[in-house]
Structure 1
Amino acid sequence: MIVRRVLSVLLLAWAFGFIWFAVSLPRPAAATPADAVVVPTGGKGRIDHAIALLHAGETRQVFVSGVDREVRPVEFALEYGVDSAHMACCVTLGFDALDTRSNAREIAAWVAREKPRGLRLVTSDWHMRRAAYELRRRLPPGFPVTEDAVPTNPSFRILFLEYHKLIAARLVGPFEPD
């Protein structure tokens, strides 16, 4: 009897959590300057938005994490409309990340080297919660991170998978060695 009640409560918590996750996706950030913008590759519109922030003068630096090793900076610049001056001074490509956790590690290492005063994290709305969680775990406590979600139209499948990845990250995260 008690097992059935516990399972019922867990099922309800899971269901209400999924509904909350799906209907309250993070939103774009207000137009405010940021010391640096970081963007994990992987979703449509992420890099475009980060580069637009650079061109609009809302940031001094853009770090793109998880770039395929075969992509050359000149190819990246052509693809995203970045002039050579901005590529030289203001856009850094990271080639070591393969997933959200390694994106967070790569971004945290870049932050340790470059020492920005704060970050603006740009990623897809459905990906923001997990990406921000993983990143904040690896940054110094209280380090300012503004979440700037790129609006998408995610499928049920994407939301379902991402919700479970977020749950797994939260359950495993505290026990995972960095």
Structure 2
Amino acid sequence: MIRRSIAAIAVIWFMGFLWFTVALPGPMDRGATQAVIVPTGAAGRIERGLEVVEGGDAGLLLVTGVDREVRPSEFAVQFEVPKQLMQCCVFLGFDAVDTRGNATETAEWIAERNIRSIRLVTTDWHMRRAALELSRAIPEDVVIVEDAVVSEPSLRILFLEYHKYLASKVSGLWG
């Protein structure tokens, strides 16, 4: 009986990991939202968020989890953000240090601006957990659109992120 239970758990774990790695979320084509939310991290996220705003599909961009030592002018130079866009539409959040913190920082930022629709831009392997944490932090009537940046994650990254995702799912059951 115990062996069968352990075997069943192992099969469920493996099938979940297989789903997690094979069916990574993809990019969104076009579609307007009020704001774009980009948690700092892997390459391509910030560039994609800026592309959405510059393309007119969102009016505001929050980059959450920015290192406290980064100055807005340095950010603008590094990502080639025009001065006018930086002044009107790009916001840097310095409070978050992890995915849950990104969600909290985002929730406060959108509440201050009465934003009802957001596009979450993050790496494909990070999207599920980021969207889960964000959906828990913001009101249910705020629409989250997922726009994953395609990457080529290593097996190690997928393994770690799968377990972080599972931990996040389980913590939501008790918290």
CA distance in 2, matches of 1:142, 1:116: 10
CA distance in 1, matches of 2:82, 2:174: 43
Question: Who is 1:19 aligned against?
Answer: 18
CA distance in 2, matches of 1:29, 1:117: 18
In the TM superposition, what whole-angstrom CA distance separates every residue of 1:133-152 from its partner, at most 9, and x where no partner exists?
00000111132000000000
Question: Who is 1:72 aligned against?
Answer: 71
CA distance in 2, matches of 1:79, 1:56: 19
In the TM superposition, what whole-angstrom CA distance separates every residue of 1:137-173 from its partner, at most 9, and x where no partner exists?
0111132000000000000000000000000001112
Q: Which amino acid aligns with 1:149?
A: A
Identical counterparts, % of pairs: 49
Instruction: Structure 2 unaligned segments of length 5 or more: list them.
Output: none
- Under a length normalisation based on structure 1, what TM-score does the superposition of the two structures give? 0.96
CA distance in 2, matches of 1:31, 1:115: 23
Question: Who is 1:58 aligned against?
Answer: 57
CA distance in 2, matches of 1:55, 1:112: 23
Q: CA deviation at 1:131?
A: 0.2
1:38-117 correspondence runs (5 A): 38-117=37-116
Question: Who is 2:34 aligned against?
Answer: 35
Where 1:126 maps in the other structure, the secondary structure is helix
CA distance in 1, matches of 2:173, 2:8: 24
Instruction: Structure 1 unaligned segments of length 5 or more: list them.
Output: none
Question: Who is 2:2 aligned against?
Answer: 3
- Under a length normalisation based on structure 2, what TM-score does the superposition of the two structures give? 0.97
Equivalenced residue count is 175
Q: Which amino acid aligns with 2:103?
A: A
Matched, 1:149 2:162: no
- Note if contact 2:117-2:144 (Cα within 8 Å) is conserved in structure 1: yes
User: What CA RMSD, in Å, does the superposition of the two structures yield over aligned residues?
Assistant: 0.9
